[in-house]
Amino acid sequence: MSASLVDPRLQGRALKRVAFTTDQIRGRVRELGADISAAYPDGDLLVLGLLKGSFILVSDLVREISRPLQVDFLVVSSYGNDMVSSGTVRMVYDAQAVLKGKHILLVEDIVDSGRTLSMVITVLQEREPASIEVCALLDKHLSTFLEHPPRFVGFDAPNEFLVGYGLDHAENFRHLPYIASLQ
């Protein structure tokens, strides 16, 4: 299915295929919310979104979690001006919430190599949370650096360049309500 013929949001770009439809995403986020609610019956829960890619998932996910929680965000950079990760995570924006003693649910849009996510977890562990778990919308299962794999995964992702539902290409396509691969 090619959405390029019917979707003006694509700015003239063609899609290779729609990988996950709006309805599939909506249903899976609902299931993730139920799983997360059951996994955290008590204690302080902080949903910590890793921006920018996770912002839509965080918004939808927290409305499906049926227990008290707090929300905060992190922005990290491991690339600087390079095309390859430097191996060093720099906090561009740090969470304002206190992490000590809280259950942290780190929400990520997609896990590929796991390098940045692994370093973020190391930094967060220094702040003495009660626990840290990862919720990823997509997991490509290519991780060679991730010692703490996602506990909650929306979908196993194909090894394609994906956009939509928060995922971007050069800051475009985040607003698409589905996930697709570009031509």
CA pair distance 40, 104, nearest whole angstrom: 10
pLDDT tens-digit readout, 65-112: 999 999 999 988 765 444 344 556 677 777 878 889 999 999 999 998
SS3 143: coil
Task: State residue 6's pLDDT score.
Answer: 55
Q: Is residue 137's pLDDT more than 90?
A: yes
Q: Is residue 152's pLDDT more than 80?
A: yes
SS3 32: helix
Range among 13-17, 33-37, 86-90, 171-175 with highest mean pLDDT value: 33-37
The whole-chain average pLDDT of the chain stands at 86
What band does 147 get if pLDDT is binned at 50, 70 and 90?
A: confident
Model pTM score: 0.87
Instruction: Name 103's bridge partners.
Output: 45, 131
Task: State residue 88's pLDDT score.
Answer: 65
Phi first, then psi: what are they for 172, rounded to 5°? -105, 160
| Residue ranges of E strands in the chain | 15-20, 45-51, 70-77, 90-93, 103-111, 131-139, 152-156, 162-163, 179-182
Which residues are marked as active site? 112
DSSP state of 150: -
pLDDT tens-digit readout, 19-69: 999 999 999 999 999 999 999 999 999 999 999 999 999 999 999 999 999
